[in-house]
Amino acid sequence: MNDLQKNVLELIENGTLLGVDAYESAIDNQTAFGSALPKGIVQKNAIATSVEDVVEVKKIKKIIAKDFDGVVDIDIADIKACAKTTDSFIELFSSKYEQIKNILLSHQGLKNTVSISTALKSTGGEETVIGMIYDIFTTKSGKLMAEIEDGSGRMKVFFTERAGTDAERVLVDDVIGMKGRISREYMFVDDIIWPDVPASVTRTISDPLSAVFISDLHYGSKEFIQKIESRFIKWINSADRDASRVKYLFVGGDVADGIGIYPGQEEDLQIKDIFGQYKKFEELFETIPEHIQVMVCAGNHDAMGLAEPQPKLPRKFLPTIYDFKNLHLTQNPSNIRIHGMDTGGINVLMYHGYSFTSIIDAVPELRRLGMSEPQHVMKDVLRRRHLAPTYGATVVNPLEIDPLVIKTVPDIFHTGDLHSHAVDKYKSTTLVSSSTFQGQTSFMDRVGHKATPGKITCVELDTRRVIVKDFL
């Protein structure tokens, strides 16, 4: 092996690629690279384009995510049959109670629960029950009371001072654990136990990949902000360090602004045809690199009706991209496991968040914090283990098994709807409330939403570090 061959091999081993001109020049002149390249010029991920004394070196930026397979596993609920009868709603509430009861029974403090009918037979001792809140009211003296029920009967409860502010958080239809004293067919509740998510180790994957979260694009609105889309497209197609790691993209609903969503909406629309609105999303999708797996659910502005769980968007709205292999249309809400290989993957709960406005209005503490900090209502529903705890917070499809119960503890909880961007952590769950591609509208003013548009959230799946890009 001559000096030229040795030096070419050394460069390759150090990660330096030779440009055609450099290689041919070296052969023509029988130049050994070791003497031709200035000291320190040999570096990884570089390309030598000349063998002159001053050598131009260009760094090669690699799209890391291309080297890894994308794995997506979506838990789909059967929402084909949803007859709205009395019996179907009874089944729905029974399913909710049983699912959350089973979650509560895993709590150490609820091992010795009794039924309400058994508790009512108590002779004055302390009892522990699990009940669904049937009604809440205030006594003439200002004390907070509730009526609770389970499969065995109903009982009235008084919340004592020991119950503290937890009592103010209780909502109709909550399923909670309660400890207290029984007296004359009443329970005096000292402790409230929420289903909650457990504290656990933060789960990661071993591969250097990321997931990006966006929502509320609102194509068709006059307030759609084109420069946010343009900057997002440029970034996700770039060799930027963060963009090069992106393997998964979540779109959390309200892809279109919709038609007739609120009175006078037509005056706020740039595109007044629903198919034209979805066509704009198809154009966006076609700019996304094909190695990125894209998950899309519906929102309350999409053409799917309000009843949750909402079905996935049908072919007729997205005919051009419907069969793309990297497009995953899914229900709202959805439990999605990504990259489930060596470490079991990352569980993402994606929910548009239409119930959040009603929950915020119903809970005094959340009402004080307002809608501009959505991380608080996200923590609240995780404590309750239900995405719409009170019937009427959103329109519900009365399925046999309540799909709005948070059965699987999410590693990442992704929502939208409120248009206010927030990232936070609750125990081992990363919270992402996506902002929007739409500016503030008069409708948003009326419902109390405060937009913080253009913020894109990127979560590193191997470290769970959160990075926020501002494209406004």
Query: What CATH number did the domain enclosing 159 receive?
Result: 2.40.50.140
Distance (Å, whole) CA 348 – CA 414:
7
Is residue 169 assigned to a domain? yes
Q: Is the pLDDT of residue 31 over 60?
A: no
Average pLDDT over every residue of 222-247:
96
Is residue 98 assigned to a domain? no
Burial label, 283 (beta-carbon count in 10 A; 0-12, 13-18, 19+) = middle
Average pLDDT over every residue of 284-296:
97
Specify the pTM: 0.86
Is residue 99 assigned to a domain? no
Question: Are both 313 and 398 inside the same structural domain?
Answer: yes
Three-state secondary-structure class, residue 213: strand
Question: Are both 55 and 114 inside the same structural domain?
Answer: no
H helix intervals, 33-127: 33-36, 86-104, 116-119
User: Side by side, which strands form the sheet with 16-18?
Assistant: 16-18, 46-48, 57-59
Is residue 452 assigned to a domain? yes
Is residue 458 assigned to a domain? yes
Question: Are both 435 and 455 inside the same structural domain?
Answer: yes
Among 193, 209, 239, where does a domain finish? 193
68-82, 86-100, 381-395, 452-466: the lowest-pLDDT one: 68-82
Q: Are 263 and 315 in contact (CB under 8 A)?
A: no
- pLDDT of 6 reads 61
Question: Are both 446 and 361 inside the same structural domain?
Answer: yes
Distance (Å, whole) CA 127 – CA 112:
8
- Among 345, 317, 321, smallest CA distance to 255 is for 317
Question: Are both 15 and 151 inside the same structural domain?
Answer: no
Structural domain span for residue 317: 67-83+198-470
Is residue 408 assigned to a domain? yes
Q: Is the pLDDT of residue 95 over 50?
A: yes
226-235, 324-333, 432-441: the lowest-pLDDT one: 432-441
Is residue 289 assigned to a domain? yes
Three-state secondary-structure class, residue 208: coil
Question: Are both 399 and 448 inside the same structural domain?
Answer: yes
Question: Are both 31 and 111 inside the same structural domain?
Answer: no
Q: Are 435 and 216 in contact (CB under 8 A)?
A: yes
- What's the total number of domains in the chain? 3
Q: Are 216 and 437 in contact (CB under 8 A)?
A: yes
Distance (Å, whole) CA 125 – CA 179:
11
Question: Are both 7 and 29 inside the same structural domain?
Answer: yes
Distance (Å, whole) CA 362 – CA 66:
46
- Residue for token digits 């838990």? 75
Three-state secondary-structure class, residue 358: helix
Question: Are both 339 and 440 inside the same structural domain?
Answer: yes
Question: Are both 147 and 247 inside the same structural domain?
Answer: no
Question: Are both 259 and 181 inside the same structural domain?
Answer: no
